[in-house]
Chains A and B, each alone.
Chain A
Amino acid sequence: MADKLLEIKDLSINYNTEMATVYAVNGLSLSLDYGETLGLVGETGAGKTTTCLSVMKLLPEGVGEIASGSIELDGVDIVKAHEDKMRELRGHTVSMIFQDPMSALNPVMTVGDQIAEVLHEHNPNMTREEVGKAVDNMMEMVGIPANRKVEYPHQFSGGMKQRIVIAIALVCRPKLILADEPTTALDVTIQAQMLGLIHELQVELNTAMILVTHDLGVVAQTCEKVAVMYAGECIEYGPCSAIFDSVGNLHPYTQGLFDAIPKLDSKARRLETIDGMMPDPTEKLQGCRFADRCKHATDKCKTAPQMKEVSEGHFVKCHLYD
Chain B
Amino acid sequence: MKNIGNMILRRIGQSVIVIFIVTLIVFLLMQLVPGDPIVNFLGPSATEEQIAYYTKLFGYDQPVLIQYFKWIGGLFRGEMGRSVAMQSEIAPILVQRLKNTLSFVLPGFVLAVVVGVFLGIVAAKNRGSALDSVISIIANIGMSMPMFWFGMILILVFALNLHILPTSGYISIQEGGFAEFAKHMILPTIVIAMNPLASFARQTRSSMLEVIRQDYVTTAKAKGISQRAITFKHQLRNALIPIVTVMGMSLGGMIGGTVLVESIFVVPGLGNLMITSIKGRDFMVVCNGVLVISIAVAICNLIVDILYGFIDPRIRND
Rounded to whole angstroms, the CA-CA distance of A111 and B171 in the bound complex is 52
Would you call A100 and B313 a contact (CB within 8 A)? no
Task: Give the residues in chain B near A109, CB-CB below 8 Å.
Answer: 233-234, 237
Would you call B312 and A106 a contact (CB within 8 A)? no
The residue that A117 contacts in the complex, of B215, B225, B313, with Cβ under 8 A, is: B225
The residue that A88 contacts in the complex, of B218, B224, B317, with Cβ under 8 A, is: B224
B contact residues vs A (CB 8 Å cutoff): 214-216, 218-226, 229, 233-234, 237-238, 311-314, 317
Q: A58-B218, A103-B216, A106-B234 are in contact. Are A154 and B313 (CB under 8 A)?
A: yes
Would you give the shortest CB distance from B238 to chain A, in whole angstroms?
6
Task: Give the residues in chain B near A214, CB-CB below 8 Å.
Answer: none
Question: Which of the 9-residue segments A90-98, A139-147, A223-231 touches chain B?
Answer: A90-98
Task: Give the residues in chain B near A104, CB-CB below 8 Å.
Answer: 215-216, 218-219
The residue that B222 contacts in the complex, of A88, A95, A122, with Cβ under 8 A, is: A95
Would you call B313 and A90 a contact (CB within 8 A)? no
Would you call B216 and A91 a contact (CB within 8 A)? no
Would you call A98 and B215 a contact (CB within 8 A)? yes
Q: A56-B222, A91-B224, A121-B223 are in contact. Are A103 and B215 (CB under 8 A)?
A: yes
In the complex, per-residue mask of A73-92: 1 if CB is within 8 Å of any chain B CB, else 0 = 00000000000001111111
Rounded to whole angstroms, the CA-CA distance of A107 and B220 in the bound complex is 12
In the complex, per-residue mask of A272-299: 1 if CB is within 8 Å of any chain B CB, else 0 = 0000000000000000000000000000
Would you call A154 and B214 a contact (CB within 8 A)? no
Rounded to whole angstroms, the CA-CA distance of A121 and B222 in the bound complex is 12
Q: A58-B218, A107-B312, A107-B314 are in contact. Are A91 and B223 (CB under 8 A)?
A: yes
Would you call B224 and A92 a contact (CB within 8 A)? yes
* A105 CB–B CB distance under 8 Å: yes
Contact residue range for chain A?
20 to 34
Rounded to whole angstroms, the CA-CA distance of A156 and B234 in the bound complex is 19
Would you call B216 and A106 a contact (CB within 8 A)? yes
Rounded to whole angstroms, the CA-CA distance of A230 and B314 in the bound complex is 42
Rounded to whole angstroms, the CA-CA distance of A106 and B233 in the bound complex is 9
Q: For residue A83, which residue of chain B has the nearest CB?
A: B227
* Those of A96-120 within 8 Å (CB) of chain B: 96, 98, 100, 103-109, 117-118
Q: For residue A103, which residue of chain B has the nearest CB?
A: B215
Rounded to whole angstroms, the CA-CA distance of A96 and B218 in the bound complex is 10
Task: Give the residues in chain B near A122, CB-CB below 8 Å.
Answer: 224
* Those of A114-141 within 8 Å (CB) of chain B: 117-118, 121-122
